[in-house]
Amino acid sequence: MSRSLLCLAVLIVLLFPAIMSGAGQDTPAASGTVDTTKPGEPKYSSVEERRLLVALQQERQNLVREREALDRKKKELKRLQAEVDKKLDQLKKERLRLEELLAEKDAAEQKKIRELSKMYEKMSPEKAARIFTDLDQELAISLLANMKTKAAARILNNMDREAAARLTTAFSSLDGK
Protein backbone atom coordinates (compact mmCIF):
# COMPACT_ATOMS: atom_id res chain seq x y z
CA MET A 1 0.00 0.00 0.00
CA SER A 2 2.78 2.31 0.70
CA ARG A 3 4.00 1.63 -2.72
CA SER A 4 0.67 2.73 -4.21
CA LEU A 5 0.70 5.87 -2.15
CA LEU A 6 4.18 6.61 -3.24
CA CYS A 7 3.25 6.22 -6.93
CA LEU A 8 0.25 8.45 -6.44
CA ALA A 9 2.33 11.11 -4.74
CA VAL A 10 4.89 11.06 -7.58
CA LEU A 11 2.13 11.41 -10.16
CA ILE A 12 0.60 14.36 -8.33
CA VAL A 13 3.94 16.10 -8.07
CA LEU A 14 4.65 15.57 -11.75
CA LEU A 15 1.21 16.51 -13.04
CA PHE A 16 0.41 19.33 -10.61
CA PRO A 17 2.49 22.02 -12.38
CA ALA A 18 0.88 21.12 -15.75
CA ILE A 19 -2.58 21.24 -14.25
CA MET A 20 -1.86 24.54 -12.54
CA SER A 21 -0.44 26.20 -15.67
CA GLY A 22 -3.59 25.41 -17.70
CA ALA A 23 -6.04 26.20 -14.94
CA GLY A 24 -6.11 29.95 -15.56
CA GLN A 25 -6.68 29.71 -19.30
CA ASP A 26 -9.93 29.13 -21.09
CA THR A 27 -9.89 26.21 -23.43
CA PRO A 28 -12.23 26.26 -26.41
CA ALA A 29 -14.28 23.52 -24.83
CA ALA A 30 -14.35 25.31 -21.48
CA SER A 31 -15.28 28.73 -22.86
CA GLY A 32 -17.86 27.39 -25.31
CA THR A 33 -16.13 28.88 -28.40
CA VAL A 34 -14.47 26.92 -31.12
CA ASP A 35 -11.61 28.25 -33.23
CA THR A 36 -13.01 28.41 -36.79
CA THR A 37 -9.91 29.72 -38.48
CA LYS A 38 -8.44 27.47 -41.09
CA PRO A 39 -4.85 26.30 -40.78
CA GLY A 40 -2.56 28.88 -42.33
CA GLU A 41 -5.17 31.60 -41.92
CA PRO A 42 -4.19 34.36 -39.51
CA LYS A 43 -6.21 34.89 -36.35
CA TYR A 44 -7.76 38.30 -35.96
CA SER A 45 -8.37 39.74 -32.58
CA SER A 46 -10.79 42.54 -33.43
CA VAL A 47 -14.21 42.42 -35.03
CA GLU A 48 -13.19 45.18 -37.43
CA GLU A 49 -10.30 43.10 -38.75
CA ARG A 50 -12.65 40.18 -39.34
CA ARG A 51 -15.14 42.44 -41.14
CA LEU A 52 -12.40 43.79 -43.37
CA LEU A 53 -11.24 40.28 -44.14
CA VAL A 54 -14.77 39.21 -45.08
CA ALA A 55 -15.24 42.33 -47.22
CA LEU A 56 -11.94 41.71 -49.00
CA GLN A 57 -12.81 38.08 -49.62
CA GLN A 58 -16.19 39.07 -51.06
CA GLU A 59 -14.57 41.70 -53.26
CA ARG A 60 -12.04 39.13 -54.47
CA GLN A 61 -14.87 36.72 -55.31
CA ASN A 62 -16.73 39.49 -57.14
CA LEU A 63 -13.61 40.31 -59.14
CA VAL A 64 -13.12 36.66 -60.04
CA ARG A 65 -16.76 36.41 -61.20
CA GLU A 66 -16.44 39.63 -63.21
CA ARG A 67 -13.22 38.41 -64.82
CA GLU A 68 -14.88 35.12 -65.75
CA ALA A 69 -17.84 37.03 -67.21
CA LEU A 70 -15.47 39.24 -69.19
CA ASP A 71 -13.61 36.19 -70.47
CA ARG A 72 -16.89 34.65 -71.61
CA LYS A 73 -17.87 37.90 -73.33
CA LYS A 74 -14.47 38.13 -75.03
CA LYS A 75 -14.85 34.60 -76.35
CA GLU A 76 -18.36 35.39 -77.58
CA LEU A 77 -17.14 38.59 -79.25
CA LYS A 78 -14.32 36.71 -80.96
CA ARG A 79 -16.78 34.09 -82.16
CA LEU A 80 -19.15 36.78 -83.44
CA GLN A 81 -16.27 38.66 -85.09
CA ALA A 82 -15.20 35.48 -86.86
CA GLU A 83 -18.79 34.93 -87.98
CA VAL A 84 -19.07 38.51 -89.27
CA ASP A 85 -15.74 38.19 -91.09
CA LYS A 86 -16.93 34.96 -92.69
CA LYS A 87 -20.21 36.61 -93.78
CA LEU A 88 -18.28 39.60 -95.18
CA ASP A 89 -16.08 37.29 -97.20
CA GLN A 90 -19.16 35.51 -98.52
CA LEU A 91 -20.77 38.85 -99.40
CA LYS A 92 -17.62 40.03 -101.19
CA LYS A 93 -17.51 36.83 -103.21
CA GLU A 94 -21.20 37.15 -104.03
CA ARG A 95 -20.73 40.81 -105.00
CA LEU A 96 -17.88 39.90 -107.34
CA ARG A 97 -19.96 37.13 -108.85
CA LEU A 98 -22.88 39.53 -109.38
CA GLU A 99 -20.59 42.15 -110.91
CA GLU A 100 -19.28 39.53 -113.32
CA LEU A 101 -22.83 38.50 -114.21
CA LEU A 102 -23.82 42.15 -114.75
CA ALA A 103 -20.77 42.71 -116.93
CA GLU A 104 -21.66 39.61 -118.97
CA LYS A 105 -25.27 40.80 -119.25
CA ASP A 106 -24.19 44.29 -120.31
CA ALA A 107 -21.81 42.83 -122.88
CA ALA A 108 -24.57 40.60 -124.24
CA GLU A 109 -26.98 43.55 -124.41
CA GLN A 110 -24.39 45.70 -126.18
CA LYS A 111 -23.78 42.90 -128.66
CA LYS A 112 -27.52 42.62 -129.35
CA ILE A 113 -27.83 46.39 -129.75
CA ARG A 114 -24.93 46.42 -132.23
CA GLU A 115 -26.60 43.60 -134.18
CA LEU A 116 -29.96 45.42 -134.14
CA SER A 117 -28.27 48.65 -135.23
CA LYS A 118 -26.75 46.87 -138.22
CA MET A 119 -30.14 45.38 -139.02
CA TYR A 120 -31.85 48.81 -138.90
CA GLU A 121 -29.06 50.33 -141.01
CA LYS A 122 -29.90 47.79 -143.73
CA MET A 123 -33.66 48.53 -143.57
CA SER A 124 -35.22 51.25 -145.59
CA PRO A 125 -35.14 54.55 -143.66
CA GLU A 126 -38.94 54.88 -143.89
CA LYS A 127 -39.61 51.48 -142.27
CA ALA A 128 -36.93 52.03 -139.64
CA ALA A 129 -38.38 55.49 -138.83
CA ARG A 130 -41.86 54.01 -138.22
CA ILE A 131 -40.37 51.39 -135.89
CA PHE A 132 -38.18 53.94 -134.06
CA THR A 133 -41.26 56.06 -133.36
CA ASP A 134 -42.76 53.18 -131.33
CA LEU A 135 -39.53 52.08 -129.60
CA ASP A 136 -38.57 52.88 -126.04
CA GLN A 137 -36.55 56.11 -126.07
CA GLU A 138 -33.48 54.61 -124.35
CA LEU A 139 -33.39 51.69 -126.78
CA ALA A 140 -33.83 54.01 -129.77
CA ILE A 141 -30.95 56.19 -128.53
CA SER A 142 -28.72 53.14 -128.03
CA LEU A 143 -29.52 51.92 -131.52
CA LEU A 144 -28.83 55.33 -133.07
CA ALA A 145 -25.54 55.59 -131.14
CA ASN A 146 -24.35 52.30 -132.64
CA MET A 147 -25.31 53.20 -136.22
CA LYS A 148 -23.25 54.94 -138.80
CA THR A 149 -24.00 58.66 -138.83
CA LYS A 150 -25.53 58.66 -142.34
CA ALA A 151 -27.91 55.78 -141.55
CA ALA A 152 -29.03 57.42 -138.28
CA ALA A 153 -29.57 60.74 -140.09
CA ARG A 154 -31.73 59.09 -142.78
CA ILE A 155 -33.89 57.40 -140.14
CA LEU A 156 -34.33 60.64 -138.15
CA ASN A 157 -35.13 62.47 -141.41
CA ASN A 158 -38.02 60.07 -142.09
CA MET A 159 -39.49 60.34 -138.57
CA ASP A 160 -42.20 62.67 -137.35
CA ARG A 161 -40.62 66.04 -136.48
CA GLU A 162 -41.57 65.91 -132.79
CA ALA A 163 -40.34 62.34 -132.33
CA ALA A 164 -37.09 63.12 -134.17
CA ALA A 165 -36.57 66.25 -132.05
CA ARG A 166 -37.22 64.32 -128.85
CA LEU A 167 -34.74 61.58 -129.81
CA THR A 168 -32.15 64.12 -130.93
CA THR A 169 -32.44 66.03 -127.65
CA ALA A 170 -32.18 62.85 -125.59
CA PHE A 171 -29.32 61.61 -127.77
CA SER A 172 -27.35 64.80 -127.23
CA SER A 173 -27.64 64.68 -123.42
CA LEU A 174 -24.86 63.00 -121.46
CA ASP A 175 -26.97 60.44 -119.62
CA GLY A 176 -28.93 59.37 -122.69
CA LYS A 177 -32.36 60.18 -121.23
Determine the pLDDT at residue 59: 94
Nearest one of 158, 154, 156 to 169, comparing CA atoms? 156
CB contact burial 67-78 (16+ within 10 A = b; e otherwise): eeeeeeeeeeee
Using a cut of 0.95, tell me whether the model's pTM lies above it.
no
pLDDT tens readout for residues 85-136: 999 999 999 999 999 999 999 999 999 999 999 999 999 999 999 999 999 9
CATH numeric code, 46-172? 1.10.220
For residues 147 and 154, give the distance between their C-alpha atoms in angstroms, rounded to a whole number.
Answer: 11
Q: Please state whether 40 falls in left (phi above 0), alpha (psi between -120 and 50) or beta.
A: left
Task: State residue 140's pLDDT score.
Answer: 93
pLDDT digits (tens, 9 = 90+) for 141-159: 999 999 999 999 999 999 9
Question: What is the C-alpha to C-alpha distance for residues 162 and 149, in angstroms, rounded to an integer?
Answer: 20
Mean pLDDT over the full length of the chain? 84
